[in-house]
């Protein structure tokens, strides 16, 4: 595999992008970057605060700028925010600037994994499960559109998922 090629992780909140991304970066000896953490670092504010003050549209514009910057780096593992694929520029950059892995998970798993997390503004609703279903109706086709590889994270440990991604990337690189 071209060692400078970036690896971008896309998928819904709770699919494991940050957790798996950190471990994948360690295994591949690459820098790990999380686009949401980078937005928070640059603004000095957490994501829920940005949503409160600027709304989702303001957040998405900040996200677009950060995704453009980060995807131009070399040799990184990037965990994107769950909604990053909503922007056509982001999708174009993810496809053209690296190898994109869609970490997929069932609504049941996403609901369990995000149930107690208050840092997810889009799930601060009376029915977070219905919200996850609605988000996935829109986003799943977009994740699949940009993905070079789709990996189901439902029944795998972090270690097993990371190994699966490494094996698949190695196979893609040699084909």
Question: Residue 65: which residues within 8 A CB-CB, separation 6 or more?
Answer: none
Q: For position 116, what pLDDT does the model report? A: 63
Whether 32 is in a domain gets the answer yes
pLDDT given at position 60: 93
Q: How far apart (Å, rounded) are the C-alpha atoms in residues 103 and 87?
A: 18
Q: CATH code at 60?
A: 3.40.50.300
Decide: residue 75, CB within 10 A, 0-12 exposed, 13-18 middle, 19+ buried. Answer: middle
Is the whole model's pTM more than 0.85, yes or no? yes
> Does a structural domain hold residue 106?
yes
Q: Is 167 within a domain?
A: yes
Dist. CA 57–CA 64, nearest whole Å: 11
162, 103 Cβ separation under 8 angstroms: no
User: What pLDDT score was predicted for residue 131?
Assistant: 82
**Strands 6-10 and 76-79, bridge-based pairing:** parallel
For residue 152, the enclosing domain spans 6-174
Give a yes or no: residue 1 inside a domain.
no
Please indicate, yes or no, if residue 47 is contained in any of the structural domains. Answer: yes
- 10-residue mean pLDDT profile of the chain (175 residues): values are 76 91 96 96 91 90 96 96 95 96 89 67 69 89 96 89 92 80
The reply to whether 61 falls in a domain is yes
Write down the pLDDT at residue 91: 97
Domain count, the chain: 1
Can you tell me the distance from the alpha carbon of 104 to that of 13, in angstroms, rounded to the nearest whole number? 10
> 131 in a domain, yes or no?
yes
pLDDT computed for residue 117 by the predictor: 63
Residues whose CB is less than 8 angstroms from the CB of residue 14 and which lie 6 or more positions away in sequence, other chains included: 105, 109, 110, 111, 112, 113, 114, 117
Cα–Cα dist 31/19, whole Å: 14
Evaluate whether residue 35 is within a structural domain: yes
């Amino acid at each position: 595999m071209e060692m400078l090629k970036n690896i971008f992780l896309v998928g819904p909140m709770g699919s494991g992008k940050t957790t798996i991304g950190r471990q994948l970066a360690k295994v591949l000896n690459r820098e790990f970057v999380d686009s949401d953490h980078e937005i928070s670092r640059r603004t000095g504010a957490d994501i829920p605060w940005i949503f409160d003050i600027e709304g989702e549209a303001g957040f998405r514009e900040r996200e677009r700028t950060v995704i453009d910057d980060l995807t131009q780096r070399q040799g990184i593992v990037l965990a994107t925010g769950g909604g990053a694929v909503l922007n056509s520029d982001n999708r174009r950059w993810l496809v053209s600037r690296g190898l994109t892995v869609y970490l997929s998970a069932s609504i049941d798993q996403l609901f369990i994994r995000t149930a107690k997390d208050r840092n997810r503004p889009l799930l601060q609703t009376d029915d977070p499960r219905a919200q996850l279903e609605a988000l996935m109706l829109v986003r799943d086709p977009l994740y699949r559109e940009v993905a070079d590889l789709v990996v189901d994270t439902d029944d795998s440990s972090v270690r097993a998922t990371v190994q699966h991604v490494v094996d698949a990337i190695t196979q893609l690189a040699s084909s």
